[in-house]
Structure 1
Amino acid sequence: MTAPHAEPPAPTLKPWRGWLDAWAHWGTLVLVTGRLLAWACLPSSYRGRYWSALAEQLVAASLPTVGWYAVLSALFGQMLIRIVVVTALSYGLTPYAVEMVVRVLVLELIPLTAALFVLLRVTLGHGQALRQLRASGAFDAAMRAGEDPLRLYVLPRMLGAVFATLLLVLVSAALALVLAYLNLYGLTPWALAGYTRAVGQIFDPAVTLVFVLKTLGCALAVAVVPQAGAFERTPVGEVRVLVRTAAVLLVVELLSLIGNYY
């Protein structure tokens, strides 16, 4: 007697699960980013209890980071500037030393390093903190009270991280320009007019616009991507948060390179 014919196994979605998860993640990221930017454009988000939460996050994100980052940025900037200046002098390219320092250090490296510093020091733990708030019922309590949890808990953290990134970029860019002048001309004030003219020629309107957009893009990437993981169905580990944030930063960097050099 022959054995009954076995039914073939039903098809599963395992081969497509990775793609579906990726689309769900990017969809969640776009949705959360859009809602946060909409709340950030409203003046009412900066009043009353929202201002208290925002002020707390601004201090918590910027105060512990600015000192250490200024020291590390000065050391790294001095090392890189010295290498560029010595190389330019050895090849007789002294007139181009200022442009090389500004374009390599200020335009390209400083926004990325500031964003990564804020990511590692500030925003990497925001996703875990938000998941704990959701588990404790704080999000449900806010919704029952007629509040948007994104506006109450996520928006202050996002704005604090963006402010911290912009502050670090401003501090490190100022330090880099001062160190570049000292390495090129020393303590004399007589070269200041030519130096400022050379820097101003580099920062034309197009380059300035790309630099501002790149800085804002990097700041939003490290501020939103770690928090968006808290709204996914499955928990997101720190390694995946780092990979996703690095992917967004890479896209921002590629767009800035296209804007500056093509």
Structure 2
Amino acid sequence: MYAALLLVLPLTRHGWSDEGMRQNLARHAYQDTAPILPGFSILAALLTVVITRIVVVTAYSYGVSQYALEMVIRVLVLELIPLIAALFVALRCTIPNGAAVAEMRRNGHFQSLRRAGVDPLVREVMPRMLAGGYAVVTLAALSCVVAGIVAYLAVYGDTLAGLPAYTRMFGHVFEPTVALIFMLKTVFFAVAVAVIPMASGANDIAAPSQRESAALQGLVRMFAVLLLLEAASLVGNYY
């Protein structure tokens, strides 16, 4: 119930009419993205160097080196980075934010907001949810750019001689259908990572002895949804 409500809330005028919500959204969008963006970009660059080196050496040993860079882009940019970005944001931002929402609900902050005529879902939950989705999309997009640049440098070095072949290969990989699936997958990853922990936190009405189990169940549901989305994207890309 809460998940459906949170999905609809940003589409309504009521969701954007609260000045406090807009202020919280700006604060959380910065706090959930800016501190982790440099570290995640470095992680993506290191992962790209390692995977590119392994794939290129392996492909060369089997005589299929012409396919090595395309394999790196398909595995890393299309599949791994969006999934890693979603998991990174979930563990770093949205799961702790969901726990914070649950704590506010338990300590009576939601009731205080309602007595003041403020919808707690709009003021406290919606900004955290939107900020989590924004963080996933931002990290995935920028890290894919970083991975593409680092992969080129790892194979061709600091020369522009390989740029025509690289752009042709990139265009071949990101054909319209694959690009659409990639964008949809990233958006759905962001929705899953943002909504599920927030819905669990807003709906935290379990007894204290049951809260840890309920939180674990919410975490398992989120991972299951991410795996299902990844499986669906693999089917769309390769079957």
TM-score with structure 2 length normalisation?
0.89
Residues 1:203 and 2:181 are matched in the alignment = no
Q: 1:253 aligns with which of 226, 230, 235?
A: 230
C-alpha distance 160-103 of structure 1, shift in aligned 2 (>3 A): same
**Equivalent residue for 1:143?**
114
- Kindly provide the CA deviation profile for residues 35-72 of structure 1, in whole angstroms up to 9, marking residues without a partner as x: 22222224664563221110011011011211111122
Matched, 1:166 2:137: yes
Q: How far apart are the structure 2 equivalents of 1:225 and 1:112?
A: 16
User: For the Cα contact (< 8 Å) 1:229–1:236, is it kept in 2?
Assistant: no
CA shift for structure 1 position 146: 4.0
What is the identity, as a one-letter code, of the residue corresponding to 1:32?
Y
The one of 177, 186, 191 aligned to 1:215? 186
Per-residue CA deviation, residues 10-56 of structure 1 (Å, 9 max, x unaligned), is: xxxxxxxxxxxxxxxxxxxxx22322222222466456322111001
Q: 2:78 aligns with which of 100, 103, 107?
A: 107
2 CA distance for matches of 1:181 and 1:43? 45
Show CA shifts across 1:75-129 (max 9, x none): 1121011111111222221221222011100111111101111111111212221
Q: Structure 2 unaligned segments of length 5 or more: list them.
A: none
| Alignment partner, residue 5 of structure 2 | 35
Given residue 130 of structure 1, which amino acid in structure 2 is its aligned partner? V
Q: 2:217 aligns with which of 191, 215, 240?
A: 240
Task: Indicate the SS of the match to 1:64.
Answer: coil
Matches within 5 A, 1:42-81: 42=12, 45-46=15-16, 48-81=19-52
How many corresponding residue pairs? 232
Q: Percent identity?
A: 44
Residues 102 and 204, structure 2, Cα contact 8 Å, conserved in 1? no
**Distance across 2 between alignment mates of 1:167 and 1:256:** 20
Report if aligned partners of 2:156, 2:162 keep a CA contact under 8 Å in 1. Answer: yes
Q: Residue 148 of structure 1: CA displacement?
A: 2.8
Distance in 2 of aligned mates of 1:89 and 1:44:
59
| 1:228 lines up with 2:199 in the alignment | yes
| 2:160 counterpart letter in structure 1 | P
Tell me the secondary structure at the aligned position of residue 233 of structure 1.
Answer: coil
d(CA) in 2 for partners of 1:106, 1:89: 21
Other structure's SS at 1:187 match: coil
